[in-house]
Amino acid sequence: MLVLAGPIGAGKTQLTHLLSQQLGTQAFEEPVTDNPVLPLFYKGNEEAEMRRQAGEKDATNHYAFLLQIYFLNQRFAMIKKAMQDDNNVLDRSIYEDQLFMKMNTDMGNAKPEEYEIYKHLLNNMMEELPYAAHKKSPDLMIYLKVDYPTMISRIAHRGRAYEQVDSDPTLEEYYKRLLRYYEDWERRYDASPMITIDGTKYDFVNSDSDREHVLNTIYGTLHDMGNIDNDELKRLMMLNQVD
């Protein structure tokens, strides 16, 4: 099982589909477009910040805890399905979920008590994962690392109104903080082998040569790990070859 990790706008969904198409496996997408809580969460962040600026020190976002529970439940179900066949690809990792809940707690959007409940639930689910999905961790974690300008550019390009800094200036600090939390997450991650792809340097969506480099890096890693044989590696690299 291959799992993508990275902040908003890193290109996880695009790379997930590229990998699954070439490997002939299934892509499992994070539920975003049909997520009923996500727009409420962004609006709740804005309102909580306004209340704090008005002097309400303990103002929280009522949707922060609900959103993370929603994602956690969806993610656990996706993992169970993805692990039924080899080389399926998930575009978001359950191993980075706690990052978002911790950040929202540190920002005051969620209560410490909610964070503790969330951690206990996540730990219980992870203990059940080997029984529900036959393994506890992905075979390879692929971390897409981007800088702030790249992140904002891609968020603007995909056009979800509730994600735009232009319409909600408080998101600038939220996104910058998120990148700092990901730096810490990258250093601490130890659940499985992981490779880091520089999503700022390599535009694998719009550049053929960048796409070839990124995909071949991933396939070379899978080959070294014993997940694909010599013939499959050769086939995949020929498929990516840029004239």
Nearest to 68, CA basis, from 95, 91, 96, 97: 97
Nearest to 175, CA basis, from 11, 45, 5, 35: 45
Active site residue 91: yes
Q: 40: burial class by Cβ within 10 Å (0-12, 13-18, 19+)?
A: middle
Tokens of 110: 């969620």
Looking up tokens 């209340």, which residue turns up? Answer: 51
Residue in 34, 58, 91, 147 annotated catalytic: 91
Sequence-separated (6 or more) residues with CB below 8 Å from residue 79: 1, 90, 94, 129, 133
Tokens of 189: 């991650």
Alpha carbons within 13 angstroms on the beta-carbon side of residue 231 total 0
On whether the CB atoms of residues 2 and 82 are closer than 8 A, the answer is: no
Q: What is the H or E stretch that residue 194 is in?
A: strand 194-198
What are the residue numbers of the active site?
A: 91
